[in-house]
Amino acid sequence: MAIVALSAITAFSSAAFASDNTGEPAVREVSLKECRELALKHSASVLLAANAVKDAELALAQTEATNLTKPSPTSVYQARMNLTVAEKNLEIAKQDVVLSTDQQHYSLLKAEHLVSISEQALALAERQLEIAKAKEKVGMATRLDLIRAENQVASARNNLASAILNRDLAMVALNQAIGLAPETILRLRDEFSYEKTGDLNLEASIEFALANRVEIAQAQSAVEVADMNVSLADNDFTPRLTYERARLAADDARIKLAEQRNKIALAVRQAYVALKQAEAKVELTAKKVSEAQENLRVTQLLFEADMATNLDVLTAQNQYTQSQIDALQAIYDYNVARSQFKRAIGDTSVENGGTAS
C-alpha cells in the first residue's frame, strides 16, 4: 500500500489565538477517528434522529398496549415499520455526519499545510529581497529589481496572514462540529494519505451499495408496508375502492424503490469517477512540484552566475509555491473524494480507504 504523506505541520503562530486572563487556550490532540466519534456524540441531527427512534419505540409500546383491548394488526405493523424507518433515518444521519466531519478535518489539515507553504514562500521572498538589496548597492541590480522583490515579500506576507486566518476559521468550524470550545487549539494526529485504487471494481461497488445503503432498506420497508395494506384490504368487508387504492400505493412504492436503486447506482458511478480523477491529479501535481523545485534551483544558480534576472528568480519562486498549493489541493480533493465514495457505497467502516473490491 503506497502512502504519500505531506510534510509535518509547522507550529502555530502566537497570533493564532489570543490567550485570556485565565491562561492559554486548551490544546487537544485528535485523530480523524476521534473527530468522528465526538461529532456523532454532539451532532444535532444525530441527537434529533435518536430522539425520533425513542419516540417511535414509545409509540409502538403504546400501540401494542392498545391492541390488547382493541385489536388492530394494521396499527401494530405500521408502528413497527415507523420504528424501522426511524432507525434507518438515524443511520443515515450518522453517515452524513461522518462525511461532514471528514471534510472539516481535511479542510483544517489543508489550511495548516497552506500556512506552512506560505511561510516557506515568505522566507524565499525575503532571501531574494536581501540579495536584490545587496546587488543594487553595487550596481548589479536596478531599482525595478528591488521594487519587484519588495512587492514579492509584501505579497507573501499578505498570503501568510490570509492563510493563518483561514486556518483559524477551519479550526473553529471543526471544534464546533466535535463539541469543543471554539478557542481550543487542535493538533491533528492524522495526515493526508494516498492509496492507488488500482483494482477497485465499479460493478462490485454498485452491488455493495445496493446491499448496504440504508435508503434502499427504507424503500424496501415501504414496499412491505404497502403489500401488508393490500393483504389486509383484500377481504369481503373492505370496500373495493380501498383495495384498489392500496394496490396503487404498492405499485408506487415499487416504483420508488426502483428509482432509489437507480439513483444510488448513478451516485456510486459519479463518486467512482471523481475518485479516479482525483487520484490521477495527485500523481500529476506531485511531478509538477518536483519540476518546479528543480527549476527554482537551476534559476537561482543561473542568477548567481549573472545568467538569469531577478525577475526570473521571482517567477520561479511563484511557480514553485503554486505547484505546492496545487499538490495540496489535489491530495485534499482525493481524501474528500474517497470519503464521498465510502458514503456513496454505504461503507460505514472507520478506517480510511475501506472500499469494496
The CATH code for residues 197-357 is 1.20.1600.10
Q: Output the CA angle 235-238-243, nearest 5 degrees.
A: 80
Span 195-210, pLDDT tens digits = 888 788 999 999 999 9
Task: Centre a 10 Å sphere on the Cβ of residue 135 and count the other Cβ atoms it contains.
Answer: 18
| Over residues 26-36, mean pLDDT | 95
Q: What letters, b where the CB count within 10 A reaches 16 and e where it falls short, cover 20-58?
A: eeeeebeeeebebeebbbbbbeebeebeebbebbeebee
CA-CA distance, 94 to 100, in Å (whole number)?
10
CA-CA distance, 79 to 357, in Å (whole number)?
38
Q: Where in the chain is the domain with CATH 1.20.1600.10?
A: 28-191, 197-357
158 has a pLDDT exceeding 90: yes
Span 282-306, pLDDT tens digits = 999 999 999 999 999 999 999 988 8
The CATH code for residues 28-191 is 1.20.1600.10
Cell representation of residue 198? 488500482
49 has a pLDDT exceeding 50: yes
In contact, 6 and 326? CB cutoff 8 Å: no
State residue 12 phi and psi, 5-degree precision: -70, 145
First-to-final CA distance of the chain = 14
Span 234-292, pLDDT tens digits = 998 889 999 999 999 999 999 999 999 999 999 999 999 999 999 999 999 999 999 99
